[in-house]
Amino acid sequence: MVLAIGGNALAPEGGADGATQAARAEHVADAVMRVRASGRRVLIVHGNGPQVGALALAQEAVAREVPPLPLDLLGAMTQGQVGVQLARAIGDRLEISEGARPVVALVTQVVVDADDPAFGAPTKPIGPFFPEGRARRLADARGWSVAEDSGRGWRRVVPSPIPREIVEWPQIAALLDAGQVVIAAGGGGVPVVHTPEGLLGVEAVIDKDLAAARLGALVGASTLILATGVDRVMLDFGTSAERPLDAMDTAEARRHMADGQFPAGSMGPKVEAAIRFVEDGGGTAVIASLEGAAAALDGRGGTRVVPAI
């Protein structure tokens, strides 16, 4: 099964020091061990939004002395950062329970289409906030796209293309077959495009839930768990008519999305990822809290997304 967790699980509110992130990795490891105890092989995909934002902010502070690195390399760096924190925490528990540390974190490249429409309409905010004047000057100097973000200031915005291929998926499948807990496609993976000269990194951010759905289908996962901050998906969220959903098929999910039930800035990407996973032949997708992931696997919680009949 694939467990997709957000970068905020390790760095709440957009940032935390290394010790705090390591402590929160212990919390994630507990949830992973509960899932592994069910006898399932486990593939973990994590977010990296807060970590990339912090790294971009640090780069900006020393930009005159050290030229900033491109976004694809920041993604690779934070894959390593979050991956090693999770691998340490999970490995410690595996060593106690199994006498070995069968866990590996793999830096993963994800192919996107060079002509994906997202490249013509960047919308994903990353990095620090700037006053409008400075943001526009940086945009002119560095070729950025910038936009105002929720009244808090101006930020760089980048494309968020659809993941098409996972470069290292055969290695990931082999590691899973060998009984390893695998951490891969962190932050949605390092975005690359095919060129006549080979793979080329691009300035973009891939949605980690969509990457998890694609990778899960490729390795033949039976279940995708999309961890979030609530126990179930809600209809009419935040209103007096709010009600939980225990299950929906992909056709129902698409109707609810068309009706605006799942906004792009919150539940929308998770529902879209669930639909893609199921329609790619991946089995069942479950949207649940991280703490409730193991119970949701047994049908005791979460919202299940299943094939349409």
User: Which residues are designated catalytic?
Assistant: 7-8, 124, 208, 270
| 273, 305 contact by CB (below 8 A) | no
Query: How many C-beta neighbours within 10 Å does residue 158 have?
Result: 22
Around 229, how many Cα atoms within 13 Å sit in the side-chain half-sphere? 7
Amino acid at 205: V
| 245, 234 contact by CB (below 8 A) | yes
The residue ranges of DSSP E strands in 107-264, in sequence order, are 109-111, 124-130, 145-148, 154-158, 165-166, 181-184, 190-195, 198-201, 223-228, 233-235, 243-245, 247-249
Around 175, how many Cα atoms within 13 Å sit in the side-chain half-sphere? 18
Compute the Cα dihedral for 92, 93, 95, 100 and give only its sign. negative
Query: How many C-beta neighbours within 10 Å does residue 62 have?
Result: 10
User: From the centroid of its chain, how far is CA 178?
Assistant: 24
Strands 284-289 and 303-306, how do they pair? antiparallel
